[in-house]
Chains A and B, each alone.
Chain A
Amino acid sequence: MIEARNISKSFGENQVLKNISVSFEKGKTNLVIGQSGSGKTVLIKCLVGLFEVDQGNVLFDGRNFSEMSFNKRKSIRKEIGMLFQGGALFDSLTVEENVMFPLTMYTNQNLEEKRERVNFCLKWVNLENSNKLYPAELSGGMIKRVAIARAISMNPQYLFCDEPNSGLDPHTAGVIDDLIQRLTYEFQMTTVVNTHDMNSVIKIGDTVSFIYKGNLWWEGDKSQILDTDNKELNDFVFDTELTKRLKEK
């Protein structure tokens, strides 16, 4: 379980997160939703330590990550996998080298063992036989899948996904959603997904946290989100013409 306790974060005069407390459960896909600029990316970056929180604490299974030194954080970071919005694959490395990178840095496995693990991860994301391709040769969906393979190569306990569907067509976005959910259930990971894609919310949102202007505005799950009377959440969920018409029916 990952817990954020009363965390706040400001950039200059602009307070982006305002005293947020939220828990993300193990073995579930925990979605964080909100409009662009609401603070959800800052929240996820605070959780993984890319931004230092101004106040409050982040706990990974009871371990206070916020108060740890860089070296102590290292041990927890080995348990974290992260899928970035643009994939963040290393341009100069092939698909195989990208997925192998964390193994090379942190394990004593020989090349054969590492290749075996890389192929296992690539098979998981349906990208066999792409080992020798470079990121520039991949499509948007393939980049996301390689990034997922890299994120799971160390068998992490915690998986963070920042806008995993951005820039993808609806079908490919669905494939990525399925993949994230299967990984979460099969490996019993604590998964946090940052999104504003309502298809993802309805499909994989075991828990949903709505961030509004830096505040945690609403919590629930995918079955509750369509029937809520929370005005701001309704404005967000039923913002498009299609969803408005569905709501009216």
Chain B
Amino acid sequence: MLIEINSLGVESLGIVAIISVFMGAVVAIQTAYNIDNPLIPLKMVGFTVRQSVILEFSPTIMSLILAGKVGSRIASEIGTMRVTEQIDALEIMGINPANYLIFPKISAAMIFNPVIIIISMGFGLVGGWLVSQFTTLFTPQDYITGLRGWFEGYTIIYALIKTVVFAFLITSISGFEGYSVKGGAIQVGAASTRAVVWSSIMIILFNLILTQLLLS
């Protein structure tokens, strides 16, 4: 399990941090440029960045990125094990290969992805703050005030529930695609692609369902 947490989670932190910082910065700039009514205070930039990052960008967009990175890795790893008879070897030894290979990946992702997403939220908010440091679009004080205003803790819970569901979808779909490979290298590649495509589609679909269920 720790090995899986490391390979599926910790090794993804770099890309998550980079994307989150830029994502937060872009949302801040776009929001600031679109506030041209003097009646709307600039602290709304901080508020908008926080809500966008927590509600959607970190849990959903990061999960889509993880579906590409982690999903293809899982499908190709297990698919290669299938075509090189390593899964048959496990079965001969009396081990349930699906349980041995896929379950730890599902557990690891469901445990560690929420940590990744919380880190992503932090970096996203820092990205917005960096804009206030290096531009004159809004002041750091405006941004911080907006970040702290009208905060509801439930948004974090909502984001984490989505993250856990998405983590399950990514690992189980990718595990299934890899496990059911028949053939050789071409089929492993195709399974890897299918894993990413289906994981992404299911994430988008469940994003809609969970949002309706949890926020309505």
CB within 8 Å of B: which residues of A? 45, 48-50, 70, 73-75, 77-78, 80, 82, 84-86, 88-91, 101-102, 105-106
Contact = CB atoms under 8 A, between A and B. Distances in A.
- Most chain B C-beta atoms within 10 Å of own C-beta, residue among A73, A80, A82, A88: A88
Given A88-B84, A91-B86, A50 B95 contact: no
A98 to B, nearest CB: 10
Nearest to A154: B93
Interface footprint category on B: 10 to 19
A88 B89 contact: yes
A77 B86 contact: no
Interface string B74-85: 000000110011
A86 B208 CA distance: 46
Nearest to A71: B94
B2 interface: no
Contact of A50 (B80, B81, B84, B88): B88
Contact of A85 (B85, B94, B96): B85
Contacts of B88: 45, 50, 84, 88
A137 to B, nearest CB: 16
A48 B86 contact: no
A77 B92 contact: yes
Contact of B93 (A77, A85, A86): A77
Nearest to B7: A92
A27 to B, nearest CB: 22
A76 to B, nearest CB: 8
